[in-house]
């Protein structure tokens, strides 16, 4: 594909299967290896979960909400039950709020370590990837010890939580904190010391502060562009009300903001340390008391049937603000409507800006940098628009292109 | 209309003041306005607040203009329902998102779009991040957005019959034969 011949090619990537609203195809217009423009088309696996929910009561929807995403499943149910609690005016016991906070932070650690590992894998830093996978096992073990499951924890419910933090579990969490304090530094070293990692991520996929504001970017994607936004800080909920949390932004650590893949990497790595501190604070400050507002399910369902109102909750999920809104109508057992807005729904609007004027070989890194789950990314098709010729490139080829670029930079 | 601004303000207005400003400028709708407090943790302090307001469609842009005077209006999502004579849309926004601990004010603006004129003004030129949501509401409810440049389907498949609006509860909605029960 010759560059500068005024012939652009269209390269579709995807569909990318990444959760409820996140299966995304990216059509890239390329001139040689340069990406000139991008069009995003989600929807490949829109499953109509909100439509299905109209036939279910709030308790049943918890289990539906939990299956929106495999990684931030707890974030989705906390957002959902908080919206119900807002609509039905339910107060959650303080101990339950602390346990929710602990699980949310465990989930954030799990998500960010996975992301950091996969980002390293994408540009060919396999040893860091494997180390990431080993490290992530610990937090998965802790989640299993606490909830019985490694994903879909079944732990949150309306008005509280269903599992307590026992002294045994607390001991396991503290062991994990000690482990991460000592071992997680490899990722910090990748960010600050490895010249190749820096060369691959610096000035790649830039999202300016202004574009991040106008395109409503969220979470680490927005913070990577220097925006001090974090719902745990700007509108504290659950146990975050008792903690002094500051949004992690690159300018506080490196003195400058590029808004590139590197800055988004840096923000996530530093947020793992922040989550460790939040876990310690939450364990230290956890009050005694009830776990649920109403432990008897039939009684709770009966109360919810009488409730009437609209509830809204936005919480800080690992990838950014996760918003759920729900409507309850008095006399109806099922909810009237439910709206879910996963963070990638908002962050994907910024993708075309990040792609422009970058190399095709950097596209996997850029897609990864907003942290969608590209678990089912299958293949891409390279189309020569002038002749109509098509060439199918597999995901493996794409990754290989990305890794080749690293090798070229290393001169081998 | 006020031109597009592209950064957040540090000059916040207290939620009570925003509420009284709205009550003054939109007196007709003051009954629909509500300020909700949210508490968390072991203490009793208010963590943050949200503001709820419902206006007529003809006043919607005036209200948005007023909110945009205060800060860049961060957009979360549009939710909605088919309520019979109209499609009711709830725009969920945030003000003062970047202004300090506990300063964010969530704002929900509810507006009924009558079914004989299913058109809303698009906010895309001021808030480009709203694009996906306006396209979603367009394909799911059949509400058109005046001023939205790209009106292609977003979540529904390319071969979708666009006469079917999945979230409508009237004859425009899916018929039983359009729905495949999985269990």
Cα–Cα distance for residue pair A162/A153, rounded to 1 Å: 10
Nearest CA among A168, A173, A116 for reference residue A140: A173
Domain identity same for A163 and A30: no
Cα–Cα distance for residue pair A372/A218, rounded to 1 Å: 13
Domain identity same for A125 and A264: yes
Q: In chain B, positions 41-60, which contact chain A (CB-CB < 8 Å)?
A: 41-43, 45, 47-48, 50, 52
pLDDT grade, residue B130 (50/70/90)? Answer: very high
pLDDT the model gives residue A93: 95
- The pair of structure tokens assigned to A181 is 């304090």
Domain membership of residue A57 (yes or no) is yes
Residue A252 belongs to a domain with what CATH number?
1.10.645.10
Q: Are A84 and A158 in contact (CB under 8 A)?
A: yes
Cα–Cα distance for residue pair A109/A129, rounded to 1 Å: 15
Which of A341, A364, A397 is at the close of a domain? A341
Residue B105 has pLDDT above 90, yes or no: yes
Which of A341, A371, A401 is at the close of a domain? A341
Average pLDDT, chain B: 91
Q: What is the mean pLDDT of residues B96-114?
A: 94
- Whether B15 contacts chain A with CB within 8 A: no
Domain membership of residue A393 (yes or no) is yes
- Burial of residue A396 (CB within 10 Å: 0-12, 13-18, 19+) is exposed
Taking one residue from A and the other from B, the number of pairs with CB-CB distance under 8 angstroms is: 144
- The pair of structure tokens assigned to B62 is 């005036």
Domain membership of residue A97 (yes or no) is yes
DSSP state letters, A205-252: S---HHHHHHTT--HHHHHHTT----HHHHS--GGGGGS------THH
Domain identity same for A223 and A78: yes
Task: State the smallest CA–CA distance between residue B76 and chain A in angstroms.
Answer: 7
ipTM reported for the complex, 2 dp: 0.93
Domain membership of residue A3 (yes or no) is no
Domain membership of residue A26 (yes or no) is yes
Query: Which residues does residue B92 pair with via DSSP β-bridges, in sequence order?
Result: B77, B108
Domain identity same for A376 and A303: no
Structural domain of residue A18, as residue ranges?
A: 9-45+349-410
Residue pLDDT tens, chain A, 412 long: 556 667 787 777 665 433 233 456 778 888 888 888 888 877 776 778 888 899 999 999 999 888 888 788 899 999 999 999 999 999 999 999 999 999 999 999 999 998 888 888 888 888 888 888 889 999 999 999 999 988 888 899 999 999 999 999 999 999 999 999 988 887 777 767 888 888 888 999 999 999 999 999 999 999 999 999 999 999 999 999 999 999 999 999 999 999 999 999 999 999 999 999 999 999 999 999 999 999 999 999 999 999 999 999 999 999 999 999 999 999 999 999 999 998 888 888 888 898 888 888 888 788 878 776 432 222 233 334 444 444 555 667 777 877 888 888 777 6
Q: In chain A, positions 181-240, which contact chain B (CB-CB < 8 Å)?
A: 209-210, 213-217, 227-229, 231, 233-240
Which among A41, A216, A336 has CB closest to B74? Answer: A216
Total domains present in chain A: 2
Domain identity same for A290 and A372: no
Cα–Cα distance for residue pair B44/A133, rounded to 1 Å: 41
Cα–Cα distance for residue pair A17/A43, rounded to 1 Å: 9
pLDDT the model gives residue A182: 87
Helix (H) or strand (E) holding A174: helix A167-183
pLDDT the model gives residue B20: 95
Which of A308, A325, A341 is at the close of a domain? A341
Domain membership of residue A4 (yes or no) is no
Which among B90, B94, B103 has CB closest to A325? Answer: B90
The answer to whether domain B15-38+47-177 has CATH 3.30.460.80 is: yes
Q: In chain A, positions 281-320, which contact chain B (CB-CB < 8 Å)?
A: 285, 287, 310, 312, 314
Domain membership of residue A374 (yes or no) is yes
Cα–Cα distance for residue pair B114/B118, rounded to 1 Å: 6
């Amino acid at each position: 594909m010759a560059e500068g011949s005024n012939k652009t090619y269209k390269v579709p990537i995807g569909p990318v299967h990444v959760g409820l609203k996140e299966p995304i195809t990216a059509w890239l217009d390329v001139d040689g290896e340069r990406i000139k423009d991008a069009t995003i088309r989600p929807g490949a696996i829109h499953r109509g979960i909100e439509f299905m929910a109209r036939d279910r009561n709030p308790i049943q929807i918890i289990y539906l909400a939990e299956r929106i995403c495999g990684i931030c499943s707890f974030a989705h149910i906390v957002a959902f039950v908080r919206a119900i609690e807002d609509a039905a005016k339910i107060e959650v016991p303080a101990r339950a709020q602390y346990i929710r906070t602990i699980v949310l932070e465990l989930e954030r650690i799990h998500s960010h370590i996975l992301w950091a590992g996969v980002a390293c894998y994408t540009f060919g830093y396999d040893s860091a990837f494997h180390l990431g996978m080993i490290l992530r096992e610990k937090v998965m073990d802790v989640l299993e010890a606490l909830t019985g499951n490694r994903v879909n924890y079944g732990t949150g419910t309306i008005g509280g939580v269903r599992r307590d933090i026992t002294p045994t579990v607390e001991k396991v969490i503290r062991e994990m904190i000690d482990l991460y304090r000592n071992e997680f530094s490899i990722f910090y070293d990748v960010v600050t010391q490895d010249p190749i990692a820096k060369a691959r991520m610096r000035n790649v996929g830039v999202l300016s502060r202004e574009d991040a504001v106008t395109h409503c970017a969220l979470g680490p994607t927005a913070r990577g562009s220097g925006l001090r936004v974090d719902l745990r800080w700007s509108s504290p909920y659950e146990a975050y009300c008792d903690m002094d949390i500051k949004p992690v932004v690159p300018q506080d650590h490196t003195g400058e903001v590029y808004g590139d893949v590197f800055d988004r990497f840096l923000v996530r790595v530093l947020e793992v340390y922040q989550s460790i501190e939040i876990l310690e604070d939450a364990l230290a400050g956890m009050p005694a008391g009830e776990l649920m507002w109403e432990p008897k399910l039939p009684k709770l369902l009966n109360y919810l049937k009488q409730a009437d109102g609209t509830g809204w909750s936005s919480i800080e999920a690992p990838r950014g603000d996760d918003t759920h809104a729900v409507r309850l109508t008095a006399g109806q057992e099922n909810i009237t409507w439910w709206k879910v807005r996963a963070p990638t729904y908002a962050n994907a609007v910024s993708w075309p800006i990040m792609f422009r004027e970058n190399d095709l070989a950097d596209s996997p890194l850029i897609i990864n940098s907003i942290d969608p789950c590209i678990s089912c990314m299958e293949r891409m098709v390279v189309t020569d628009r002038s002749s109509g010729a098509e060439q199918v490139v597999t995901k493996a080829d794409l990754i290989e292109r990305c890794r080749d670029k690293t090798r070229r930079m290393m001169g081998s | 209309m006020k031109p597009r601004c592209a950064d957040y303000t540090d000059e916040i207005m207290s939620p009570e003041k925003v509420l009284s400003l709205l009550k003054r400028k939109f007196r007709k709708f003051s009954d629909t306005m509500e300020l909700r407090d949210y508490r968390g943790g072991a203490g009793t302090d208010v963590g943050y607040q949200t503001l709820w307001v419902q206006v007529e469609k003809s006043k919607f842009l005036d209200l948005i203009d007023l909110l945009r005077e205060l800060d860049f209006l961060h957009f979360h999502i549009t939710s909605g329902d088919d309520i019979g004579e109209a499609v009711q849309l709830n725009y969920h926004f945030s003000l003062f998102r970047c202004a300090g601990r506990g300063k964010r004010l969530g704002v929900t603006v509810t507006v009924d779009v009558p079914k004989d004129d299913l058109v809303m003004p698009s906010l895309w030129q001021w808030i480009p991040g709203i694009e996906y949501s306006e396209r979603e509401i367009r394909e799911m409810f059949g509400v058109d957005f005046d001023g939205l440049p790209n009106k292609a389907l977003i979540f529904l498949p390319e071969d979708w019959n666009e006469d079917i609006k999945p979230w409508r509860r009237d004859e425009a909605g899916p018929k039983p034969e359009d729905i495949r029960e999985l269990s």
